[in-house]
Amino acid sequence: MSASQPLRVLFFADAGPLVGGGHVMRCLTLARVLSERGAECAFVESRAAAPILRRFGWPAQTLLAMANTDDLADLVGWGAEFADRFQPDIVVADHYGVGAAEETRLRAAKRRIVVIDDLADRRHVCDLLVDPGFGRHRGDYADLVRPTAQVLLGPGFALARPEFPQARPRAMSRRAKHGPVRRALIALGLTDVGGVTERVVTALLPLLADVRLDVVLGAGAGSVARLSEIAAQDRRVHLWVDAHEMASLMADADLAIGAGGSSVWERASVGLPSATVILAPNQRAMIGRMADAGITLALDADATSFDADLGVAWTTLATDSALRWRLTERTAALCDGQGAERVAEAILRL
């Protein structure tokens, strides 16, 4: 990269009905911060990632390499071909299927590889690895990355959009008043894995009293039609489809039932006391550690007792203001929402 040529970054992000849209969203966050520092960003657009990129894409100048497939080998081949034309200085991979072999194919002379991961289950040939997971330590990657690789670990490097730290002072000030629960957020992922959002809302309706439910999900989620009917019939239920106002919704909520993916750190950045729903096996260990540390309540969507456990968690959070404040303090201490700035600076130093 010459002094006159901007940094070029190519993103390779996973998406789909099982993994959700969190990988794409956090890459969009990083692309936004890098673009504000003068970088040119592009995304390899898989078929599953396309709707998310088109609805939430930032910034306007971001390029889309349209692959129109979800097959990993085809996507890597397409990404390598596009990279030969785009000539990126950095390739950012945030994909559970991508490891050393795929990264080697995407690498070229002087091109750096950045990996965003939360599994620590495969080898990488990256120059920089970011894992925002709670409880991670360097030993988890000792045999998975090269000794020269820089490794950034922990929630301080979580990729939350700038709106979240901006909303933090207002949210924390309001929570410190220890008021009653008037609004609750239900946010279980854009793709609504297994129709879990409808299941949660239906189970909570008899327990709500006069609490308002802000329910968030993506336009392609299977629960949209039924939840639209519920919202039309029940004034307490407010449906938000493809919401761009997440920071405000989280700041204004008194409690949340939220997904166990990257949105954990968005909620943490505004100190939102939550019951976190484990929606995939890879989320179980970290959410379990957080629950053991008293940072969140944990619910497993696959448990036969899920509906009953949800009712208990809701009642506990709704009635125990001291618990809500304790969760607020502990979760806010983990994540200040500035992780995207830190990761962007590390990438620029590469």
pTM: 0.92
Question: Could you tell me which CATH number the domain at 8-159+338-349 has?
Answer: 3.40.50.11190
- The tens digit of pLDDT for each residue in 110-125 reads 899 999 999 999 999 9
Cα–Cα distance measured from residue 138 to residue 154, given in angstroms and rounded to the nearest whole number: 10
Q: Is 3 a residue whose pLDDT tops 90?
A: no
Question: Once rounded to an integer, what is the mean pLDDT over residues 268-288?
Answer: 96
Q: Cβ distance 27 to 11 under 8 Å?
A: yes
The DSSP code sequence of 238-271 is EEEES-S-HHHHHHH-SEEEEESSTHHHHHHHTT
Cα–Cα distance measured from residue 264 to residue 277, given in angstroms and rounded to the nearest whole number: 10
- The tens digit of pLDDT for each residue in 167-177 reads 999 999 999 99
Q: Where residue 5 falls among pLDDT bands split at 50, 70, 90?
A: confident
Question: Which residue, chain included where needed, has tokens 């959002």?
Answer: 197
Which of helix, strand or coil describes residue 275? strand
Question: Once rounded to an integer, what is the mean pLDDT over residues 213-226?
Answer: 93
Q: Partners of 41 in the beta sheet? A: 9
The two three-digit tokens of residue 164, written as one number: 């979240």
Question: Once rounded to an integer, what is the mean pLDDT over residues 196-211?
Answer: 97
Please report, as a single letter, which amino acid is at residue 227. L
Q: Is 2 a residue whose pLDDT tops 60?
A: no
Cα–Cα distance measured from residue 77 to residue 276, given in angstroms and rounded to the nearest whole number: 37
Which of helix, strand or coil describes residue 320? coil
In Å, how far from its chain's centre is CA 70?
Answer: 20
The pLDDT assigned to 250 comes to: 98
The pLDDT assigned to 60 comes to: 59
If one compares 110 and 208, the residue with the highest pLDDT of the two is: 208
The most confident of 48-62, 65-79, 188-202, by mean pLDDT: 188-202
Whether 8-159+338-349 and 163-334 share one fold: the answer is yes
- The tens digit of pLDDT for each residue in 301-322 reads 999 999 999 999 999 999 999 9
In Å, how far from its chain's centre is CA 40?
Answer: 22
For 81, 147, 167, 215, 316, the CA distances from 124, given in Å and listed in that order, are 21, 11, 36, 38, 43
Please report, as a single letter, which amino acid is at residue 340. A
The pLDDT assigned to 109 comes to: 78
- The tens digit of pLDDT for each residue in 56-113 reads 886 655 777 888 888 999 999 999 999 999 999 999 999 999 999 999 999 987 899 9
Cα–Cα distance measured from residue 30 to residue 92, given in angstroms and rounded to the nearest whole number: 10
Angle between helices 321-334 and 306-319 (to 10 degrees): 100
Q: Is 4 a residue whose pLDDT tops 90?
A: no
The pLDDT assigned to 21 comes to: 87
In the chain, what are the domain boundaries? 8-159+338-349, 163-334
Q: Is 132 a residue whose pLDDT tops 60?
A: yes
163-334 maps to CATH 3.40.50.10240: no
Question: Which residue, chain included where needed, has tokens 């009635």?
Answer: 319
Through-space distance between the first and last CA atoms of the chain, rounded to whole angstroms: 11
Q: Cβ distance 110 to 91 under 8 Å?
A: no
The β-bridge relationship of strands 255-259 and 237-241 is unpaired
The pLDDT assigned to 59 comes to: 63
- The tens digit of pLDDT for each residue in 15-45 reads 887 788 899 999 999 999 999 999 999 999 8
The pLDDT assigned to 63 comes to: 78
Question: Which residue, chain included where needed, has tokens 């050393």?
Answer: 100
Q: Is 256 a residue whose pLDDT tops 70?
A: yes
DSSP state of 169: H
